[in-house]
């Protein structure tokens, strides 16, 4: 359906299905025609100061998050052991894990900004800060920076996008209906995706685009990277290895389970949030994907979904509810993204996509509805489906 165009019978039927999938709230499909506006017109609608990067302001968010991380560590290392009963210990540890995992996800987002050169006007400073923060969370900074940059350059492309690239029906393994068409299999898929999805993506490029040979984010000579990038992939690996050695020394001093309680469990929560946020930003029944005959950068960048995570929007520095603006202008600092989103909505109109569905409900729905993609009335434009 084009912007302002008439719906065909098939499109009308699909809209009714979208409404049922959303629990009664109609979810309008994104238009797929060439937008009646340009990127320059969108940018002109945004106040110029939104594109200004402040070292002081950016570092204030780093300090803010790290102070909270330190306070939560104090809670884990000093206050929890002082609690008077084992029952209180059992109750306090999950609170620490959840809170620390959420705050460290915010730290992850700031490092992500560094990878986009949205932290400051100085690329070297951005890379130093990003390398330190991402390495502390076991992320190979430069490796992810380059693959993620290609994701932004090819969003919505079935051939060239880098993450959560949907499969066509004929490419699905034989067991797919048995996994997705029953609640137990679907729940197992979600659990595996949230726990193993991020390490599998880094090590095997799971859910990414196909390459002519094995692709791994830790391999400087892998097909993901070109010759100019390989030295920085070594630096990324060195950063992760340095943090791994530090964790080994901590385990040798305080014990393996100490490291698991204090560091590893919050890191698992960070990884789960990272996968879930990315999945929900790019997976939705209302979002199209394109093959090479239809894809262009602007339509691909618009094929993403803003979501509402409640109070966690602020904890995650609004990467959740300003993702459309982020894909259009990835060097814009996160602290201007809310203002920019408000400014571009009137320009984007139907091309702006926002879904307020609660996160747990949306995750379950997308896992049920968005299994594969296929074209409908328009060759080259693919929509999610779940019928076998």
Give the model confidence (pLDDT) of 42-52 as tens digits.
Answer: 999 999 999 99
Closest CA to 336 of 52, 34, 13: 52
Average pLDDT over residues 322-329: 98
pLDDT digits (tens, 9 = 90+) for 138-167: 999 999 999 999 999 999 999 999 999 999
pTM: 0.92
Residue 28 has a pLDDT of: 87
Least confident of 112-126, 177-191, 235-249, 313-327: 177-191
Residue 123 has a pLDDT of: 97
> How far is CA 185 from each of CA 175, 177, 178, 180, 191, rounded to the nearest angstrom?
11, 9, 7, 6, 10
CA separation for the pair 210, 161 (Å, rounded) = 10
Q: Is the pLDDT of residue 22 over 60?
A: no
Q: Which two tokens stand for residue 326?
A: 């982020």
Classify residue 25 by its DSSP letter. Answer: S
Q: Is the pLDDT of residue 77 over 50?
A: yes
Q: Is the pLDDT of residue 305 over 50?
A: yes
Residue 378 has a pLDDT of: 83
Domain positions in the chain? 50-385
CA separation for the pair 352, 31 (Å, rounded) = 9
Classify residue 322 by its DSSP letter. Answer: S
Q: Which two tokens stand for residue 40?
A: 């320059």
Q: Is the pLDDT of residue 334 over 70?
A: yes
Residue 3 has a pLDDT of: 38
Q: Are 224 and 149 in contact (CB under 8 A)?
A: no
- Give residue 1's pLDDT band: very low, low, confident or very high (50, 70, 90): very low
Mean of all residue pLDDT scores within the chain: 93
In a 13 Å sphere around the CA of 340, the CA atoms on its Cβ side amount to 27
Average pLDDT over residues 237-263: 98
Average pLDDT over residues 109-129: 98
Least confident of 82-91, 108-117, 128-137, 195-204: 82-91
User: For the chain, what's the residue count?
Assistant: 388
Q: Is the pLDDT of residue 60 over 90?
A: yes
Q: Is the pLDDT of residue 354 over 80?
A: yes
Q: Is the pLDDT of residue 75 over 90?
A: yes
Pairing of strands 381-385, 372-375: antiparallel
In a 13 Å sphere around the CA of 135, the CA atoms on its Cβ side amount to 22
Closest CA to 382 of 208, 209, 158, 207: 158
- Give residue 287's pLDDT band: very low, low, confident or very high (50, 70, 90): very high
């Amino acid at each position: 359906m084009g912007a302002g165009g008439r719906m065909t019978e098939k499109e009308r039927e699909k809209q009714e299905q979208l409404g049922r999938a959303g629990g009664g709230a109609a979810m309008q499909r994104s238009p797929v025609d060439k937008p009646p506006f340009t990127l320059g017109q969108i940018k002109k609608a945004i106040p110029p100061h939104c594109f200004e990067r402040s070292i002081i302001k950016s570092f204030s968010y780093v300090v803010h998050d790290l102070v909270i991380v330190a306070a939560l560590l104090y809670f884990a290392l000093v206050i929890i052991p002082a609690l008077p009963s084992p029952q209180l210990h059992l109750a306090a540890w999950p609170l620490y894990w959840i809170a620390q995992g959420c705050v460290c996800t915010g730290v992850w987002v700031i490092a992500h900004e560094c990878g986009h050169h949205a932290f400051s006007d100085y690329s070297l400073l951005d890379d130093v800060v990003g390398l330190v923060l991402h390495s502390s969370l076991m992320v190979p900074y430069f490796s992810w920076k380059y693959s993620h940059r290609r994701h932004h350059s090819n969003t919505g492309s079935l051939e060239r996008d880098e993450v959560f690239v949907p499969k066509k029906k004929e490419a699905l393994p034989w067991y797919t209906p048995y996994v997705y068409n029953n609640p137990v299999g679907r729940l197992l898929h979600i659990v595996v995706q949230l726990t193993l999805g991020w390490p599998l993506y880094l090590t095997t490029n799971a859910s990414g685009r196909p390459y002519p040979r094995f692709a791994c984010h830790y391999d400087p000579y892998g097909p993901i990277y070109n010759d100019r990038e390989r030295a920085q992939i070594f630096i990324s690996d060195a950063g992760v290895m340095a943090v791994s050695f530090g964790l080994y020394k901590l385990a040798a001093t305080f014990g393996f389970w100490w490291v698991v309680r204090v560091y590893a469990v919050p890191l698992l929560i960070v990884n789960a949030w990272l996968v879930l946020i990315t999945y929900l930003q790019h997976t939705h029944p209302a979002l199209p994907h394109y093959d090479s005959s239809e894809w262009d950068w602007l339509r691909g960048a618009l094929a993403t979904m803003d979501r509402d995570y409640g109070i966690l929007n602020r904890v995650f520095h609004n990467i959740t509810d300003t993702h459309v603006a982020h894909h259009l202008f990835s060097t814009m600092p996160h602290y201007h993204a809310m203002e920019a989103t408000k400014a571009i909505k009137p320009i984007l109109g139907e091309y702006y996509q926002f879904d307020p569905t609660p996160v747990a409900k949306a995750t379950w729905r997308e896992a049920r509805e968005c299994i594969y993609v296929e074209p409908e009335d328009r060759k080259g434009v693919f929509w999610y489906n779940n019928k076998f």
